[in-house]
Amino acid sequence: MIRDVGAMTTQGDRTALRTAVVMTLGLLLGGCMVKETKPLPKLNAVQAQQQIPDEQLLDVAVREFDPGVPEDLKEDEEALAKKRIYPDVRRAESRLIPLNLRETLEGTGHWGPVRVVPASVQFVDVIVTGRIVESTGTQLTLEVSAADSTGRVWLDRKRYESEADIGSYKTDAALRARDPFQNVYSAIANDLLAARRQLAAADLVDIRRITSLRFAEDLAPEALGGYLARESGGLIRVSRLPAVGDPTLARIEQIRARDAAVIDTMDGYYGSFSERLSDSYDGWRRTSYDAIEKEDKARSQARTRTVLGAAAVLASIFVSGQCAPTDYDCRRIESAARTAGAAGGVAAVLSGIRKFSDAKVAAQEVKELALSFQGEAEAQVVELEGRTLRLSGTAEEQYREWRRLLGGIYREESGSVVAAPAPAP
């Protein structure tokens, strides 16, 4: 009976050893599996089902976004690259992303003119601002705010984020048909629509009136500075209306039409900027998506192989012997298992180290792609009203100069005569 029990124990030990080897191999192989990425469900912007009266159609200005380059890292290219932030690319995206949002808003039929503008543009019914939190070929995260000309806040630094829809990367036609991050733009458009729907028709008319009076007040405060009131909460309301046919207001409305034409022209240049960079930017995003996926996969496999490999080595060294001293067959199996476990573990560790190397190569590939894109993302120089504008940091200064010139145009056309506000009838 004692011999039979010993034989049963030996047989159990052999089975346990085989099971341990199989489980270790299974873990090593299983750690290399990567979950398949599937196309995202599509979110579409809500479309207008009926025509909206002109007096209720609000104009929208989407300002250039903040590129989101950390101030404390802006001179440290290596640190920025580790965060996948390439300043020149971000500066280009600060214009390209608003253009994508503009196209989405225009396509819904819920709004009046939608334009991309510099940050100094002020007198528009609704102004949208934003900051790029993260932007790569795989992920887009934005922080968006919006307010109307009365000071009413529609969105307060609301965060929008989405992974890329890989369906858009499959072909050039698919990429042209739908942006990989269209879900983000659709979500913003739907939230803006929800905010507008909370307002009555009279509120929409009031917003448009206040926009016009704010422009007039800024241009000719002496003549038209008494029609608006500021409440303690920061909201602006109409305190009284100009007389019907007021000649001063009529002249200012003509100047405002010129200002709108300038803004339209600038918006057109933003569009040209986007068209010029479209192919290279789309190619950069698609290729960087592949590179980032490869980098993340390499890092994941490296961690798995290194940890499990080290565990296998330790297990092969420190596992206690389970065979009887006289059971030579069991001891040979045990020794072979130890050797196989150690060899397999070392191989897994070395494989993990190689994967870390692959990850670094993939990261460098992303950086090189960004650098190649930066060469095509240079500022565009344009001529506007006989003046040179650059769609970069100087666009702000140039538009401010244009606004200062408007005051001179008003004084010239009015003969330097300042009219007193006419009382409402």
- Residue ranges in the chain whose pLDDT is less than 70: 1-38, 296-367, 369-395, 398, 409, 413-425
Tell me whether residue 33 is in a domain.
Answer: no
Specify the pLDDT at position 82. 84
- Full domain range(s) for residue 83: 54-291
Tell me whether residue 49 is in a domain.
Answer: no
Specify the pLDDT at position 1. 42
Tell me whether residue 346 is in a domain.
Answer: no
Tell me whether residue 211 is in a domain.
Answer: yes
By three-state DSSP, how is residue 220 classified?
coil
Tell me whether residue 168 is in a domain.
Answer: yes
pLDDT per position as a tens digit, 313-346: 445 544 445 555 555 555 555 555 555 555 555 4
Split into its structural domains, the chain has a count of 1
H or E element: which one contains 332?
helix 328-374
Specify the pLDDT at position 109. 95
pLDDT per position as a tens digit, 226-252: 899 988 888 999 998 888 888 888 888
Tell me whether residue 398 is in a domain.
Answer: no
Tell me whether residue 312 is in a domain.
Answer: no
By the 10 Å C-beta count (0-12 exposed, 13-18 middle, 19+ buried), 22 is classed as exposed
User: Can you list the pairs that 405-413 forms with residues at least 24 positions away whose Cβ atoms lie under 8 Å?
Assistant: 406/219, 406/255, 406/258, 406/259, 407/219, 409/255, 409/258, 410/219, 410/220, 410/251, 410/252, 410/255, 413/251, 413/254, 413/255
Tell me whether residue 42 is in a domain.
Answer: no
